[in-house]
Chain A
Amino acid sequence: MARAVTTRRKIVTTVVAWAVGLLIFFPIYWTILTSFKTEAQAVANPPLFFGFDFTLENYAIVQERSDYMRYLWNSVIIAGGSTILGILIAVPAAWSMAFVPSKRTKDILLWMLSTKMLPAVGVLYPISLLFVQFDLLDTRGGLIVVLMLINLPIIVWMLYTYFREIPGEILEAARMDGAGLRAEILYVLTPMAIPGIASTILLNVILAWNEAFWTLNLTAVNAAPLTAFIASYSSPEGLFYAKLSAASTMAIAPILVMGWFSQKQLVRGLTFGAVK
């Protein structure tokens, strides 16, 4: 009897999981499918799932009209740069909050998170003026700093949670053996927290890759990443869905592939603690 329930439950869970998975994946699937249609078929009503003329025309047009590699390279540098910079700041910050907490640590953590509650457009003008002042408009350096700051609260929080699960005694033992602060973080803490750090890096790369407010508002030509590439295919007058879908597919492809390859780390890092 118990076995039957388990089997039934298994089936139900599997079906529900597949349904949820497919539901979440559907927009991506639809975008990819649309990118292979003609403009007229892309807006056909009822929507076409099968039986349309498969065409690579949209990819050819997008390829011809835009310099995809330049946008891709900017996205790689901006997402990678902001992640590296963020990790370099967040690891020591999370270390101090996890292992040397003060009376105000909890408040600082909450305060950091509260900066995420402000809509980005609220600080558009101050940030724009700072960028003009320091000649940072349309530079990758400026965007790296801004995106790092935006994502910093989240990565500090994530790392703090991982570090908290590492017993302080291990670090104490390292100190007893004569390890300095640098050696303690670099050789003892970091290796133990690798799964956590890896998933934090992945999440941060994804967030920075998809960021579409600052990357559109602070760039023009030189530093424009893939978000600007996608935005250039939306049109006020005329059909554009197929070309837009082709551009979107090209923009999400690298991050999608990266996500597939690092799925295991991502799930493990997000669901397990450091020493479990």
Chain B
Amino acid sequence: MSPKTVLRASSALCLCASAALAVTGSAASAQDTTITIATVNNGDMIRMQGYTDLFTEQTGIAVEWVTLEENVLRQRVTTDITTNGGQFDIMTIGMYETPIWGANGWLVPLDNLSEEYNVDDILPAMRNGLSYDGTLYAAPFYGESSMVMYRTDLMEAAGLEMPDGPTWEFIEQAAAAMNDPENEVYGICLRGKPGWGEGGAFITVTANSFGARWFDEDWNAQFDTPEWEQALTFYVNLMNNYGPPGYATNGFNENLSLFQQGHCGMWIDATVAASFVTNPDESSVADSVGFALAPNHEGVDRRANWLWAWALAIPAGTQQADAALQFIEWATSAEYIELVAENEGWANVPPGARTSLYETPEYQEVPFAQMTLDSINAADPTNPTVDPVPYVGIQFVAIPEFAGFATEVSQEFSEVYAGQKSIEEALANAQSLTNDAMEAAGYR
């Protein structure tokens, strides 16, 4: 290579570098009427992105979407909110974050919603779960509980009939009757994957339905109680006997695909799954799915169903609070639900947020509508367990430290599911690590 060529090449490199840096300058400028929304990738959210042009037409406010994986989204918005980054005008957050962030003053209170919006139409369970101290901090876009989804054809073949509100004992009996591992049909599929929002959420609601709780009123961990041992032992026996192999790593999506392919007799999980398992384009068992309330242990007055909502909230650092509020009112309104119903059918509207949806005659005909509503109504985040607790939340404890230690606890339990640890050992570890975390955080 001649010296001239080298010189030319290096000046080209320098030019490129300065061009690259120059381009970055222009990227920072933004229009006044553009709002940025951070969200997760799920069917209802993606559908909403398709309709935002209508919102822009009506209001002149442009919308930019940032779609992220759930855990990345949590990390991203937490960093943004705590460093006052101001990257987002609306954030999609869940029922766990909302009361904590509201209490910290990180969210704009939604107390000046317009009259037409009719905030009283939001389902009471959702409204409570998304409020702190009586103030609403996020508007539910869709809500869910959990329920039993089962194969009506297999139930019939087993000569059993699913009651509307089964007990765990009945679930075990049905699982035994439907279990046919030789033909790759397993009696029951449940979450076992580590993570507070995955297997952790499921075992927590199971424990609630056996009369257990995470903490007593003085924030002492309760894993050393007979109720926890009973719940965990029941779950492990049920899954070892009638569950699919490798259930310790199954989460929502893994079980969804197992159920859709006809490998599960029953599946207890989020109510939103109902629209997936009854969709003939995706599911090979679409026309033989029935629904029932999540079970309870005989004699225990709590069912194993949770409550969750993906909701839209405005971070306190935003410069565009008014435009953001306008969007939230539009996206979580009864009119938006009608818009989706008109274009995509009632089975595809975002469920679980508004009372009026369940009063709509067309929606009442959707096979899973009533059971979804009943499940949501059966969940009370302020009173989740048999014995009193100092926290709010059903499948979680609404304190900032929970995500950390609950993930560790669920890892302990997943090791039991994988056969690497005994139940006693896992419970003892869960007890000490939870107490340590609570001590470090100053609760005890």
Residues on A lying within 8 angstroms of B by beta carbon are 39-40, 43-45, 65, 77, 80-81, 84-85, 87-88, 124-125, 128-129, 131-132, 135, 137-142, 144, 186-187, 190-191, 194, 216-217, 220-224, 228, 231-240
Q: Are B79 and A124 in contact (CB under 8 A)?
A: yes
Q: Are B28 and A135 in contact (CB under 8 A)?
A: yes
Determine which of B17, B66, B284 lies in contact with A88 in the assembled complex, contact meaning CB atoms within 8 Å: B17
Cα–Cα, bound, A232→B41 (Å): 6
Q: Decide yes or no: A144 and B36 within 8 Å by CB, A137-B85, A223-B27 being known contacts.
A: no
Interface of B is mostly: helix
Confirm or deny: B76 has a beta carbon within 8 angstroms of a beta carbon on chain A.
yes
In the complex, chain A residues whose CB is within 8 Å of the CB of B64: 220-221
Q: Which among B256-264, B328-336, B353-361, B429-437 touches the partner chain?
A: B256-264
> B24-35 CB contact bits vs A (8 Å, 1 = yes)?
110110100000
Determine which of B28, B85, B276 lies in contact with A128 in the assembled complex, contact meaning CB atoms within 8 Å: B85
20 contacts between A and B (CB under 8 A): A39-B282, A43-B261, A77-B20, A81-B24, A84-B13, A139-B27, A139-B28, A140-B27, A144-B24, A190-B10, A191-B1, A194-B1, A216-B76, A222-B28, A232-B66, A236-B40, A236-B253, A238-B43, A239-B282, A240-B253
Q: Are B261 and A45 in contact (CB under 8 A)?
A: yes
Q: Are A139 and B24 in contact (CB under 8 A)?
A: yes
- Please give the distance in Å from B412's CB to the nearest CB on chain A: 23
Q: Decide yes or no: A87 and B260 within 8 Å by CB, A187-B6, A237-B42 being known contacts.
A: no
Q: Are B72 and A235 in contact (CB under 8 A)?
A: no
> B1-13 CB contact bits vs A (8 Å, 1 = yes)?
1010011001001
Which one of B10, B40, B85 has the highest number of Cβ atoms from chain A below 10 Å of its Cβ?
B85
- Please give the distance in Å from B366's CB to the nearest CB on chain A: 18
In the complex, chain B residues whose CB is within 8 Å of the CB of A137: 85-87
> B52-73 CB contact bits vs A (8 Å, 1 = yes)?
0000000000001011111010
In chain B, positions 81-118 with a C-beta closer than 8 Å to chain A are 82-88
8 other A-B residue contacts (CB within 8 Å) besides A223-B27, A224-B66: A87-B13, A140-B23, A186-B3, A216-B76, A217-B79, A222-B28, A235-B69, A237-B273
Residue of A nearest to B29 (CB): A222
In the complex, chain A residues whose CB is within 8 Å of the CB of B41: 232-236, 240
Confirm or deny: B21 has a beta carbon within 8 angstroms of a beta carbon on chain A.
yes
- Please give the distance in Å from A257's CB to the nearest CB on chain B: 20
Q: Decide yes or no: A238 and B276 within 8 Å by CB, A221-B66, A228-B68 being known contacts.
A: yes
Cα–Cα, bound, A233→B16 (Å): 32
Determine which of B66, B72, B253 lies in contact with A220 in the assembled complex, contact meaning CB atoms within 8 Å: B66
Cα–Cα, bound, A102→B91 (Å): 53
Q: Are A138 and B27 in contact (CB under 8 A)?
A: yes
Confirm or deny: B189 has a beta carbon within 8 angstroms of a beta carbon on chain A.
no
Q: Decide yes or no: A216 and B72 within 8 Å by CB, A125-B79, A187-B3 being known contacts.
A: yes
User: Would you list the 8 A-B pairs with minimal beta carbon distance, nearest first?
Assistant: A141-B24, A81-B20, A232-B67, A43-B257, A140-B24, A234-B69, A222-B27, A84-B17
Q: Are B16 and A65 in contact (CB under 8 A)?
A: no
Residue of A nearest to B76 (CB): A217
Cα–Cα, bound, A85→B17 (Å): 7
Q: Are A235 and B7 in contact (CB under 8 A)?
A: no
- Please give the distance in Å from A162's CB to the nearest CB on chain B: 16
Q: Decide yes or no: A237 and B272 within 8 Å by CB, A80-B16, A138-B87, A216-B76 being known contacts.
A: yes
Cα–Cα, bound, A238→B43 (Å): 7
Q: Are B253 and A235 in contact (CB under 8 A)?
A: yes
Q: Are A84 and B83 in contact (CB under 8 A)?
A: no
In the complex, chain A residues whose CB is within 8 Å of the CB of B7: 186
Confirm or deny: B141 has a beta carbon within 8 angstroms of a beta carbon on chain A.
no
Confirm or deny: B75 has a beta carbon within 8 angstroms of a beta carbon on chain A.
yes
- Please give the distance in Å from A156's CB to the nearest CB on chain B: 18
Confirm or deny: B38 has a beta carbon within 8 angstroms of a beta carbon on chain A.
yes
Q: Are A141 and B260 in contact (CB under 8 A)?
A: no
Residues on B lying within 8 angstroms of A by beta carbon are 1, 3, 6-7, 10, 13-14, 16-17, 20-21, 23-25, 27-28, 30, 36, 38, 40-43, 46, 49, 64, 66-70, 72, 75-76, 79, 82-88, 252-253, 256-258, 260-261, 263, 270, 272-273, 276, 282, 284
Cα–Cα, bound, A213→B439 (Å): 32
In the complex, chain A residues whose CB is within 8 Å of the CB of B16: 80-81, 84
Q: Are B83 and A132 in contact (CB under 8 A)?
A: yes
Determine which of A84, A221, A233 lies in contact with B20 in the assembled complex, contact meaning CB atoms within 8 Å: A84
Cα–Cα, bound, A186→B49 (Å): 52
- Please give the distance in Å from B144's CB to the nearest CB on chain A: 9
Residue of B nearest to A235 (CB): B41
Residue of A nearest to B45 (CB): A235
Cα–Cα, bound, A22→B363 (Å): 52
- Please give the distance in Å from A225's CB to the nearest CB on chain B: 12
In the complex, chain A residues whose CB is within 8 Å of the CB of B66: 220-221, 224, 228, 232
Q: Are B68 and A216 in contact (CB under 8 A)?
A: yes
- Please give the distance in Å from A178's CB to the nearest CB on chain B: 14
Cα–Cα, bound, A240→B76 (Å): 21
In the complex, chain A residues whose CB is within 8 Å of the CB of B76: 216-217
Determine which of B24, B70, B258 lies in contact with A236 in the assembled complex, contact meaning CB atoms within 8 Å: B70
- Please give the distance in Å from B425's CB to the nearest CB on chain A: 29
- Please give the distance in Å from B74's CB to the nearest CB on chain A: 11
In the complex, chain B residues whose CB is within 8 Å of the CB of A77: 20, 23-24
- Please give the distance in Å from B382's CB to the nearest CB on chain A: 25
Which one of A87, A129, A131, A238 has the highest number of Cβ atoms from chain B below 10 Å of its Cβ?
A238
In the complex, chain B residues whose CB is within 8 Å of the CB of A88: 13-14, 17
In the complex, chain B residues whose CB is within 8 Å of the CB of A81: 16-17, 20-21, 24
- Please give the distance in Å from B111's CB to the nearest CB on chain A: 27
In the complex, chain B residues whose CB is within 8 Å of the CB of A87: 13
In the complex, chain B residues whose CB is within 8 Å of the CB of A132: 83-86
Residue of B nearest to A187 (CB): B3
Which one of B23, B25, B38, B86 has the highest number of Cβ atoms from chain A below 10 Å of its Cβ?
B23
Q: Are A186 and B6 in contact (CB under 8 A)?
A: yes
Determine which of B13, B25, B282 lies in contact with A141 in the assembled complex, contact meaning CB atoms within 8 Å: B25
Q: Decide yes or no: A237 and B253 within 8 Å by CB, A220-B38, A223-B27 being known contacts.
A: yes
In the complex, chain A residues whose CB is within 8 Å of the CB of B3: 186-187, 191
Residue of A nearest to B256 (CB): A239
Q: Are A44 and B10 in contact (CB under 8 A)?
A: no
Q: Are A144 and B1 in contact (CB under 8 A)?
A: no
- Please give the distance in Å from A260's CB to the nearest CB on chain B: 23
Cα–Cα, bound, A255→B17 (Å): 20
